[in-house]
Amino acid sequence: MSWLYPSVENRCCTSALGDANPPAAPLSRLEEASAGLAVVNLLGLDRDGLTRFFADLGEKPFRASQALKWIHQQGAVDFDDMSNLSKTLRRRLSECAEITGPKIVLTQRSVDGTHKWLLQLACGNRVETVFIPEEGRGTLCVSSQVGCALNCSFCSTARQGFNRNLSVAEIIGQLWMAKRALGEKTPITNVVLMGMGEPLLNFDNVVAAMKLMMDDFAYGLSKRRVTLSTAGMVPAIDRLARIADVSLAVSLHATDDAVRNELVPINRKYPIDELLQACKRYVADARRKVTFEYVMLDGINDSPAQAKALARLLSGVPSKVNLIPFNPFPGAPYRCSSTTAIDRFQEILQRAGLVATRRKTRGDDIDAACGQLVGRVQTRTRRPNTTDVHA
Ligand code: SF4
């Protein structure tokens, strides 16, 4: 991405995110900043973007590494704290740049340690971010869009429609915020792009944010610990395979096109067979495995015959299956499968040689299913908003 003309940053307004419409005779963002037109939010610049930013200030490339460390590892928001930068550079930065993350509107903490934050973004949009601690790991679930256009029938966010893509700063800002809020004693070891929105429909911004997640001078997560979850945008899966080496999760949820068309309507455009071919291509050269997410819906997709069909479908795909007990939300048209049905489904998959895990229900005492918190606050305040999430 170029920080001069940042096509990957979505623009909702000229704001703290540093976004401004390019003029007819384009000014660089630094020139804009100098003219008092915009301030660059350094949170949204990856290594390449920061290198170009500092080059325009007449600074050496190593300043990018210094800035990455201060912003993402130290959580700095004040340039005066950046003690290895000269006073002159710090003063210059305070004139043309800023470090602005999302604002926490509400925090919920479950007795099981799950944290959920409702975040306020520029232009008044709100999204959710969830942290799930487990033995030896801590996973942050990050949103990529405000709302979602894909209209999956089991998803609470889908009901609220699509509003806009998140910028790089707004995506990485969720990790930046969570790291600061949780502190050193609660490390974030894994990130999943599995919150509100379809990440592959916000491709460039999501890829730039994932690069920051994996940059050793920022969060230093390995590619196995950064997972992108998609409802099945086939061309974008192929594009992702070419440019980013991260783990892939696919919201499958059905074993035949008739059922999947109802649950995941994008299936009408990219049916199961095409989706699985794309998954095979994704793992072909890179010793990857695809995780198939399968939400357990009573009487819809949870029969023994469907378990056997799933085992047959995935027989040629290096993969594992994650069974997700449905977390109902008000007005949901589905019920969660019984424990017996889930046990039986899992057993059939395992007997067929598949790795099949079952997601533990977390945050039962808070609004843990994605979209619930925004929906609840929205109802209470009667303010327009959007929500959602992958199961
Ligand atoms: S499940 Fe994911 S892709 Fe489907 S509507 Fe919800 S957020 Fe969008």
Task: Classify domain 29-98 at the CATH class level.
Answer: mainly alpha
The token duo for 140 is 């942050």
Q: How many residues are recorded in the chain? A: 391
The token duo for 190 is 């894994």
Query: Is 231 touching ligand 1 by the criterion CB < 6 Å?
Result: yes
| CA dist., res. 41 & res. 324, Å (int) | 37
276-308 pLDDT, tens digit per residue, is 999 999 998 767 889 999 999 999 999 999 999
Task: Classify domain 103-381 at the CATH class level.
Answer: alpha beta
Query: Is 388 touching ligand 1 by the criterion CB < 6 Å?
Result: yes
Query: Is 152 touching ligand 1 by the criterion CB < 6 Å?
Result: yes
Query: Is 314 touching ligand 1 by the criterion CB < 6 Å?
Result: no
310-357 pLDDT, tens digit per residue, is 999 999 899 999 999 998 888 899 999 999 999 999 999 999 999 999
Residue whose CA lies nearest to ligand 1 atom number 7: 389
Relative to the CA of 148, which ligand 1 atom is closest? Answer: 8
Paired with 127 in beta bridges are 119
192-231 pLDDT, tens digit per residue, is 999 999 999 999 999 999 999 999 999 999 999 999 999 9
Query: Is 200 touching ligand 1 by the criterion CB < 6 Å?
Result: no
- How remote is the CA of residue 197 from the centroid of ligand 1, in Å? 6
Dihedral (Cα; 4, 5, 7, 13), 10-degree rounding: 100
Residue 365 or 137, more confident: 137
Phi, psi of 245 (to 5 degrees): -105, 85
Query: Is 173 touching ligand 1 by the criterion CB < 6 Å?
Result: no
- How remote is the CA of residue 278 from the centroid of ligand 1, in Å? 19
- pLDDT higher than 60, residue 7: no
Relative to the CA of 388, which ligand 1 atom is closest? Answer: 7
Pocket test for ligand 1, best of 143, 145, 155 (most atoms within 8 A of CB): 155
- How remote is the CA of residue 150 from the centroid of ligand 1, in Å? 6
Query: Is 295 touching ligand 1 by the criterion CB < 6 Å?
Result: no
Query: Is 389 touching ligand 1 by the criterion CB < 6 Å?
Result: yes
pLDDT band per the 50, 70, 90 thresholds, residue 387: very low
Cβ 285 vs Cβ 257: under 8 Å = no
Residue 384 or 70, more confident: 70
| CA dist., res. 188 & res. 346, Å (int) | 29
- pLDDT higher than 50, residue 391: no
**For the chain, counts of helices (H) and of strands (E):** 12, 14
Of 129, 107, 108, which Cα lies nearest the Cα of 366?
A: 108
- How remote is the CA of residue 367 from the centroid of ligand 1, in Å? 17
| CA dist., res. 66 & res. 45, Å (int) | 13
146-196 pLDDT, tens digit per residue, is 999 999 999 988 988 999 999 999 999 999 999 999 998 899 999 999 999
Rg (CA), the chain: 21
- How remote is the CA of residue 157 from the centroid of ligand 1, in Å? 7
Write down the pLDDT at residue 35. 54
Domain(s) of CATH 1.10.150.530: residues in the chain: 29-98
CA dist 341 → 254, 264, 303, 325, 348 (Å): 15, 22, 7, 10, 11
Write down the pLDDT at residue 366. 62
| CA dist., res. 371 & res. 145, Å (int) | 12
- How remote is the CA of residue 372 from the centroid of ligand 1, in Å? 13
Domain(s) of CATH 3.20.20.70: residues in the chain: 103-381
Helix (H) or strand (E) holding 346: helix 339-351
pLDDT band per the 50, 70, 90 thresholds, residue 367: low
Relative to the CA of 230, which ligand 1 atom is closest? Answer: 3
Query: Is 198 touching ligand 1 by the criterion CB < 6 Å?
Result: yes
8-40 pLDDT, tens digit per residue, is 233 333 232 333 333 444 555 555 555 555 799
Residue whose CA lies nearest to ligand 1 atom number 4: 152
348-362 pLDDT, tens digit per residue, is 999 999 999 998 776
Provide the percentage of residues in the chain whose pLDDT is more than 90.
73
- How remote is the CA of residue 328 from the centroid of ligand 1, in Å? 15
Of 331, 301, 296, 324, which Cα lies nearest the Cα of 156?
A: 331
DSSP 3-state of 295: strand
Residues forming the active site? 128, 370
47-98 pLDDT, tens digit per residue, is 999 999 999 999 999 999 999 999 999 999 999 999 999 999 999 999 999 9
Of 112, 145, 167, 123, which Cα lies nearest the Cα of 370?
A: 145
> Model's pTM, two decimal places?
0.86
Dihedral (Cα; 369, 375, 381, 384), 10-degree rounding: 140
Q: What is the 3-state secondary structure (H, E, C) of 114-138?
A: CEEEEEECHHHCEEEEEEEEECCEE
89-135 pLDDT, tens digit per residue, is 999 999 999 999 999 999 999 999 999 999 999 888 999 999 999 99
- Mean pLDDT rounded to a whole number for the chain: 86
Of 177, 160, 151, which Cα lies nearest the Cα of 125?
A: 160
Pocket test for ligand 1, best of 198, 250, 267 (most atoms within 8 A of CB): 198
Residue whose CA lies nearest to ligand 1 atom number 1: 390
